[in-house]
Chain A
Amino acid sequence: MTTLKRVQQWATFARIWHVFDASWQNPFDSAQLLKKYLLGLYKPIYHPMNDCGDHVIVINCSDVALPGEEWKKRVYFHHTGYPGGASWTLAHELHKKDPVLILKKAVYNSMDGNLQRRYTMERLHLFPDANVPAKLMGNVSNQIRQIRPIPKRLDHYTQKEIEEYPKLIDYPKDYILR
């Protein structure tokens, strides 16, 4: 085995570490994206029996965005197993309890329920903010591109940018500005 082949072999089977910024991202769309990396679906050597999944670090999990009114419409069901043990938790209640859980459940539910799922989930590292231990961050060699662009708030533009932006309408002559 030549040196090149040896390094190629090592690079093929090494676990790569990816980082993903979840701020303003839909957790359910993100789950479909992260699943691809966690299972190693994008690799040419992929096979269900081949343990070739990567590690993914997700930062800013508390800043995920849900579409429309889903924060108060989406319900998470749990049953303790005892009679009357059913409980329904709204998405915003769950998010307040643990800002990581919505993304965690989204990724967990996006994958098939087999014996590998729990081990695959161990390769997903979720953080509510951008404070990641340096030990983990040192492994990262790839950043996963975000799905949705992060919108910019009006008060984060400078006054000059707002004034000099092309205007579609002007006020009538007799209009009193408020």
Chain B
Amino acid sequence: MQSISKINLLNLPNIFLRTISFSSKLQLKEVFETREGNSLVIKGVHAESGREPFLLKNVSEACPVCSSGLDIKHTDVLILSQFVRSDGCMLPRRITGLCTKQQKRMSTLVTMAQKAGLMPNLNPPNSKNDPKKRGGWKKYHKYFDETTINVR
């Protein structure tokens, strides 16, 4: 609330509006604002995710991972990074659209890849991106056994 009152004092409506508008290139719904005289028009337009040309076709009723029939390992970072936000958080199931088993399995594999330091660029902004700068035992190379994942 403090920031809003500050903006009101400054009497600059454009700055306030900019805080609620998102115009990132990566966004699926891009927000545009245009001023025509006294009226301000804010439009949300669907943007391309860039994934459509490379999307695997899922003809079956199964979830994308089940139907692909892949044996995904924790070192397959090009696959695992598709289920992860830019800060390294796992996407929820309503967005990934996986079945419960695969969602659990993928989130475990993502954790394994992160612990092994294989996805250091998908991290919170305050983290040290180089795995060698981690403290104690965490900075050394490690690998994981996928058969230890307990998914029922």
Please state if A167 and B142 are interface contacts (CB–CB under 8 Å): no
A108 at the interface (CB under 8 A from B): no
- Expressed in whole angstroms, the Cα–Cα distance for A67 and B147 within the complex equals 12
A154 at the interface (CB under 8 A from B): yes
A164 at the interface (CB under 8 A from B): yes
For the A-B complex, the count of residue pairs with Cβ-Cβ distances under 8 Å equals 129
Please state if B51 and A171 are interface contacts (CB–CB under 8 Å): yes
- Expressed in whole angstroms, the Cα–Cα distance for A86 and B65 within the complex equals 51
Q: How far is the CB of B104 from chain A (nearest CB, A)?
A: 16
Chain B residues closer than 8 Å to A24, beta-carbon distance: 141, 143
Among residues of B, the one whose C-beta sits closest to the C-beta of A178 is B85
Q: Check A173/B117 contact, CB under 8 A, given A95-B140, A168-B64, A168-B65.
A: no
B118 at the interface (CB under 8 A from A): yes
Chain B residues closer than 8 Å to A162, beta-carbon distance: 78, 81
Q: How far is the CB of A79 from chain B (nearest CB, A)?
A: 24
Please state if B26 and A177 are interface contacts (CB–CB under 8 Å): yes
B99 at the interface (CB under 8 A from A): no
A112 at the interface (CB under 8 A from B): no
Q: Check A154/B29 contact, CB under 8 A, given A24-B141, A167-B54, A169-B83.
A: no
A119 at the interface (CB under 8 A from B): no
Using a CB-CB cutoff of 8 Å, which residues 141-178 of chain A contact chain B? 148-149, 151-155, 157, 161-178
Please state if B86 and A154 are interface contacts (CB–CB under 8 Å): no
Chain A residues closer than 8 Å to B119, beta-carbon distance: 153-155
A63 at the interface (CB under 8 A from B): yes
Q: How far is the CB of B140 from chain A (nearest CB, A)?
A: 5
Question: What is the size category of the interface that chain B forms with chain A?
Answer: 35 or more
B34 at the interface (CB under 8 A from A): no
- Expressed in whole angstroms, the Cα–Cα distance for A71 and B121 within the complex equals 24
Question: What is the size category of the interface that chain A forms with chain B?
Answer: 35 or more
Q: How far is the CB of B125 from chain A (nearest CB, A)?
A: 12
Chain A residues closer than 8 Å to B81, beta-carbon distance: 154, 162
Minimum-distance CB pairs A-B, first 8? A92-B137, A71-B137, A65-B141, A151-B75, A155-B121, A154-B77, A168-B64, A165-B78
Using a CB-CB cutoff of 8 Å, which residues 124-147 of chain B contact chain A? 129, 136-138, 140-145
Chain B residues closer than 8 Å to A170, beta-carbon distance: 49, 51-52, 55
| Besides A72-B137, A154-B122, A165-B79, 5 other A-B contacts (C-beta < 8 A) | A63-B141, A67-B144, A168-B55, A168-B64, A171-B28
- Expressed in whole angstroms, the Cα–Cα distance for A72 and B22 within the complex equals 44
Q: How far is the CB of B113 from chain A (nearest CB, A)?
A: 8
Q: Check A171/B49 contact, CB under 8 A, given A68-B145, A154-B120.
A: yes
Please state if B24 and A177 are interface contacts (CB–CB under 8 Å): yes
A64 at the interface (CB under 8 A from B): yes
